[in-house]
Amino acid sequence: MDIIKFLKYELKGWKKYEVIALCLVFLIVCINAFILHDSKAAIVSAVCGILYTTLAGKGKISCYFFGLLGTSFYSYLSFKNALWGNLLLYVCYYFPMQVTGIFKWKKHLKSDTKEIVKTKLSFKELIVLSLGAIAACVAVIFILWYFKDKSPIFDGITTVFSVIGMYLTVKRCIEQWIAWIIVNGLSSLMWLELVLKGAKAYSTLLMWIVYFILGIYFLIIWKNEMKETEKNNL
Query: pLDDT of 4-54, one tens digit each?
Result: 777 777 878 888 898 998 899 888 878 877 787 777 777 787 888 889 899
- Give the number of other Cβ atoms within 10 Å of residue 83's Cβ: 27
Domain region containing 188: 3-233
What is the pTM (predicted TM-score) of this model?
Answer: 0.83
> What SS3 class is residue 27?
helix
The rounded mean pLDDT for the chain is 86
Q: Which of 113-122, 176-185, 195-204, 218-227 is predicted least confidently?
A: 195-204
Please tell me the distance from the alpha carbon of residue 231 to that of residue 155, in angstroms, as a whole number.
Answer: 41
pLDDT of residue 234: 64
- Residue 134, judged by CB atoms within 10 A of its CB (0-12, 13-18, 19+), counts as exposed
| Structural domains in the chain (count) | 1
pLDDT of residue 58: 92
pLDDT of residue 94: 85
